[in-house]
Chains A and B, each alone.
Chain A
Amino acid sequence: MGDNPMSIADAQEPLEAVIKGEVLRMYQEVADNPDAEFHFFHGRLAAEMFGYSPEWLERAPAGAVASFAGVGNPHERSRLQPGETVLDLGSGAGLDSIIAGWQVGPEGRVIGVDLNPAMCLRATANASATGARLECLEGRMEDIPLPDASVDVVLSNGVINLSFRKRRVIREIFRTLRPGGRISITDIVSAKELKQSIVNDPKLWAS
């Protein structure tokens, strides 16, 4: 093969940095001000819309529920088993990690990865409050800070769409999964290519 032409994502690196900042800001705001209004539904209302069990929402720490910013319910088809190792990519305030932790039990392991170290601290504290064990690593989904073939299941809820490098994210998920491993991911997709004015708007991209 010859040249390796600059990808669209590489060409848009400055914009990517701005969007990363906006993503950090927006989801930190959801966590800090869960009573505020956003483009998307969040908190308990959103979790109920997506069919999260009322029992889960009662049992989970109020802070994790209030800051929930997912777009669906990845647990619906995750079929988590006791003893499995789960990666929650973009773990946020930790609600999905906590629920996964209950399912894999004390023999299992849940690893959260989040861009925002403050969210990792929050998720870990939320998990501890329920007796669930969560290891949360600061990191980018484009460079998941885990070895090859180290997890059984990858969960993710509404974060891959935020990346400029989705192909790379998917390759990273594949790399970290053990052979025979599986994914259960909820995310936003678009049937049509977004206008450049939308792509260039960090607030819209982040939402």
Chain B
Amino acid sequence: MFALLEDAGFTRVRSAVVPGFRFRKASTRDAAEAYGVKAVLMTALKPA
């Protein structure tokens, strides 16, 4: 998603992992962990 934002023309693209995010069900949580799934907060600007 970071690259998609830059490709679209956004600048000052920043991302931070959402610390509290996790899936509720253990099976989904394990699968998500295996794929490096995480929630992120992304901010960016459209140039003036």
Contact = CB atoms under 8 A, between A and B. Distances in A.
Contacts of B22: 41
B46 A185 contact: no
A21 to B, nearest CB: 21
Contacts of A184: 41-43
A162 to B, nearest CB: 13
Nearest to B38: A189
Interface in A158-207: 158, 160, 166-167, 170-171, 173-174, 177-192, 194, 198, 207
A181 B48 CA distance: 8
Contacts of B4: 166-167, 170
A76 B40 contact: no
Nearest to B42: A185
A191 B21 CA distance: 15
B46 A179 contact: yes
Contacts of A56: none
A183 B42 contact: yes
A51 interface: yes
Contact of A71 (B21, B36, B45): B21
Given A73-B41, A185-B41, A171 B46 contact: no
Interface of A: 37-41, 49-51, 71-74, 76-77, 158, 160, 166-167, 170-171, 173-174, 177-192, 194, 198, 207
5 contacts: A72-B18, A160-B1, A186-B18, A188-B37, A192-B34
Interface of B: 1, 4-5, 7-10, 18, 20-25, 28, 31, 34-48
